[in-house]
Chain A
Amino acid sequence: MIYLDNSATTCVFESAAEIMRKQMTEQYFNASATYAAALQNERLYLEAKKSIANSLKCSQNEVFFNSGGTEGANTALFGAISASNDRKHIVISAIEHPAVYDTALALKSRGCSVSIAPVNKDGTVDANVLASLVTSQTAIVSIMHINNEIGSINNLSELSKAVKSVNPATLFHSDGVQAYMHIPCDVIACGVDIYSVSAHKIHGSKGMGAMFIKEGTPMKPLIYGGGQQDNMRSGTLNMPGIAGMRAAVDTLSSMQDLMPKLSDIKNAYIEELKQIAECLIIGDPSKTAPHIFNIAFKGIQAQVLQNALEEQGVIVGKGAACSSRTNKISRVLKELEIQADYAAGAIRISLGAFNTLDEVKPATQIIKDTVLRLRKFKRR
């Protein structure tokens, strides 16, 4: 099988799976307990915070573990609104992941106002446009770092600067789920207050994630309980998840040449696939994420193509996996005004640490043949 849907989820690294197994069956102690057996886990927890902090270039006490990107987005938006006194305005971009988009809509139904920043043709947010939406009432702005469907990269430092220049009290959150460990995520240089990441997109486990919350940021927790993690995120520490995430981060950190390699693989795929007639690479591949691209084939149903490719051992994404159970055309592609007969046939190819250049030839041959074969069947 050639797995090309790493933006949906990734295969867990052996190093991560192994330490997770150990955490579950041997070192299963509650890290908050006071006996010696548990102390080892508390140490591991602190080391994990350090690893994540290093990867985000922030301080260790600014890292909080949670259940993943969706919780991160909910915490950021609900937490900022609860702590903002009477400021109830939220700004997001038009192509946010549902974790942000639908959370903003939920807050709207509870009395907040939401402004949606349009995106440029390349799927990025314009700093001036964003700044024009920020008001004295804006509590939080949430702009994704890398778009999950097309891989476009936002310039966070420029955007955060623009937001803060209008209202310094406005918090800036970025959904870093697709960016984390794929492009430099220096949260301080990016000027963000809150940054959410997920473990299962970087070869850690599902149900695991982390947030950067800049020291001194006025935030209320989303989840209350035993007061773990400085009261910011209660709940028994998910030690298997934490240990696995740390192992994944450490493994990826040691693979210095991985991102250039993924970039090369991505370009090799694009080189091959763009030979197919009537196809459209969405976004400028030289400016998009090293591991994601979206390609639309005219006159094809993405679902049928995905089915047919899977039958031949090639797994690709169609829209975003979180929303791909519906056959509607993606909100992101609609926003980018991609022609409907192309957008209906858009697939996403996303790479991970296990992909190789050797896969490109066989995979692209299968995709080419399948697209040509399926194109014979058009509604007449």
Chain B
Amino acid sequence: MHNLLYTNTIIVKVGEIHLKGQNRPFFERTLIKNMRAALQAFDKITIEKSQSRIFVYNIAPERLNEAVECLRKVFGIHALSPAREMEKDLDVLSSAAIEMLKLSGKTSGTFRVNACRGDKRFPIESPEIAAIIGGNILEELNGLKVDLKKPDHTVEIEIREHAYVYVEDVSAVGGMPVGTNGRAALLLSGGIDSPVAGYMIAKRGVALDAVHFYSFPHTSERAKEKVIQLTKLLAPYTGNISLFVVPFTKIQELIYEKCPDAMLTIIMRRFMMRIAEKIATDRHCGALITGESIGQVASQTMEGLQATDNAVSMPVFRPVIGMDKQEIMDYAIKIGTYETSILPYEDCCTVFTPRHPATHPILEHVIDAEQVLEVEALIDEAVANTERIDINR
């Protein structure tokens, strides 16, 4: 046992991993690895799995909230509770529970105590543990009443090798641990939609690489800086991301000069997909991710998407395909990328957006139109000159 009366612990509740069968240890190991990475700035912590929970021990008391915030962003965690760990003594547990209720301002309304006796050697059974501690709380905190059905507050007691008490359940992002479902390449534009799309796929356990198309001087150095910033905002959720910045000016200018106006965007998209696929293959990615939403702009009609898909053989994930702009914006606000996405630095690229784009492009016509360009050579050149920036969590 520790010298202190108690130490700080975070009890982590996993989400969907529950449902896994024989693969479960792999998912848990990956989650613990990701939690360790998320908590790399914390000295001396230890992480242990115990039945259906994961325990994080030895967190300095003054950094408890900070640790909670880091873990809330780890995919695979459903909820977590800052807890106190102490000896298995009901008086000690009672005073800890009372202090924690006071600290979190839960001193009026209704409550109940849940007890879970994992250590069956402990002589008192769960309902009795709950009754004794509940009684002690009632004696000390006059503003509280018991309500077993719909309490305002719940005090959780867990008796394992040591005893734990917690009064808060903090929700986390859920999903699957990143790395349990392969890797995909996100086409990251700097707008609102693509970071959301990347987040959504990473949430399903997919590790990310990001590909950005850079059209200097038509877009500025600050636009690139913004994409780096967005990648940094995603990394606490997704873990390390390699950002590939592809020089795209030459291709964009050639398309502008040589292809029909109405098809500028669609041909440009096809180039982007091909380049992204090439980088993705090299990185052992299994899919591409885009932030396209059906009907949002001219190139995002069904025919437009078909013409884009046709350029590559890798599956293309479009997780925001059925979302309204407002829904995507709300999502971006929730994950913290919105404010950066709306910075104005990419306004200059409008010269390459035709006034009258083809909304129902015919695939054969598009393929014909791009024949005037040396597609393969241009792609190889762009990939060869791509800059890689590693963004760590």
Interface set of A (CB-CB < 8 Å, partner B): 301, 303-308, 310-311, 325-327, 374, 376-380
Contact = CB atoms under 8 A, between A and B. Distances in A.
Given A301-B348, A303-B348, A380 B261 contact: yes
B192 to A, nearest CB: 18
B344 A327 contact: yes
A379 B218 contact: no
Interface stretch (B182-190, B352-360, B377-385): B352-360
Contact of B347 (A311, A327, A380): A327
A378 B220 contact: no
Contact of B253 (A303, A307, A377, A380): A377
Contacts of B257: 376
A378 B221 contact: no
A14 B294 CA distance: 60
B348 A304 contact: yes
Contact of B350 (A306, A310, A379): A379
A307 B351 contact: no
Nearest to B261: A380
B216 interface: yes
A180 to B, nearest CB: 30
Given A307-B217, A325-B222, 5 more contacts: A307-B218, A311-B217, A325-B344, A327-B348, A378-B351
A379 B219 CA distance: 15
Interface string B234-271: 00000000000000000001001100010000000000
A301 B344 CA distance: 14
Contacts of A310: 217
B216 A311 contact: yes
Of the candidates B218, B253, B353, B355, the one having the most CB atoms from chain A within 10 angstroms of its own CB is B218
Given A303-B348, A326-B344, A327-B344, A380 B355 contact: yes
Interface string B297-333: 0000000000000000000000000000000000000
Given A301-B348, A303-B348, A326-B344, A380 B217 contact: no
The 6 closest A-B pairs by CB, nearest first: A307-B217, A308-B217, A377-B351, A380-B261, A379-B351, A327-B347
B348 A377 contact: no
Interface centre among A306, A311, A326, A379 (most CB of B within 10 A): A379
Contacts of B256: 377
11 contacts: A301-B351, A304-B217, A306-B217, A307-B348, A308-B217, A310-B217, A311-B217, A377-B218, A377-B256, A378-B351, A379-B354
A379 B353 contact: yes
A327 B222 CA distance: 13
A303 B257 CA distance: 21
> Taking each of B253, B261, B351, which has the highest tally of chain A beta carbons within 10 Å of its own beta carbon?
B351
B339 to A, nearest CB: 15
Chain B: interface secondary structure? helix
Contacts of A307: 216-221, 348
Contacts of A376: 257
Interface in B122-144: none
A308 B215 CA distance: 11
A312 B86 CA distance: 67
A80 to B, nearest CB: 35
Contact of A304 (B218, B261, B354, B355): B218
A327 B347 CA distance: 8
B256 to A, nearest CB: 6
Given A304-B348, A326-B344, A327-B348, A380 B354 contact: yes
B250 to A, nearest CB: 13
Contacts of A374: 217
B252 to A, nearest CB: 9
A52 to B, nearest CB: 36
A310 B222 CA distance: 13
B214 to A, nearest CB: 11
Nearest to B344: A327
A325 B222 CA distance: 10
Interface in B180-238: 216-222
Contacts of B348: 301, 303-304, 307, 327
Contacts of B352: 377, 379
A303 B347 CA distance: 9
Contacts of B253: 377
Given A307-B221, A326-B344, A327-B347, A379 B355 contact: yes
B221 to A, nearest CB: 7
B144 to A, nearest CB: 48
Nearest to B220: A307
A348 B217 CA distance: 18
A379 B348 CA distance: 11
B361 to A, nearest CB: 17
B236 to A, nearest CB: 27
B263 to A, nearest CB: 12
A260 B351 CA distance: 41
Contacts of B216: 307, 311
Contacts of A305: 217
A311 B344 CA distance: 21
A308 B218 CA distance: 8
Contacts of B222: 325
B348 to A, nearest CB: 5
Q: Which of B217, B218, B220 has the most CB of A within 10 A?
A: B217
B358 to A, nearest CB: 13
A305 B351 CA distance: 13
Contacts of A308: 217
A252 B379 CA distance: 54
A377 B351 CA distance: 6
A356 to B, nearest CB: 26
A326 to B, nearest CB: 6
Contacts of B351: 301, 304, 377-379
A380 B353 CA distance: 8
B57 to A, nearest CB: 47
B222 to A, nearest CB: 8
A301 to B, nearest CB: 5
A249 B216 CA distance: 39
A377 B254 CA distance: 11
A301 B221 CA distance: 15
B97 to A, nearest CB: 51
A327 B253 CA distance: 22
A376 B352 CA distance: 11
A302 B217 CA distance: 11
Contacts of A379: 350-355
Interface string B140-162: 00000000000000000000000
A374 B216 CA distance: 12
Contacts of A378: 351
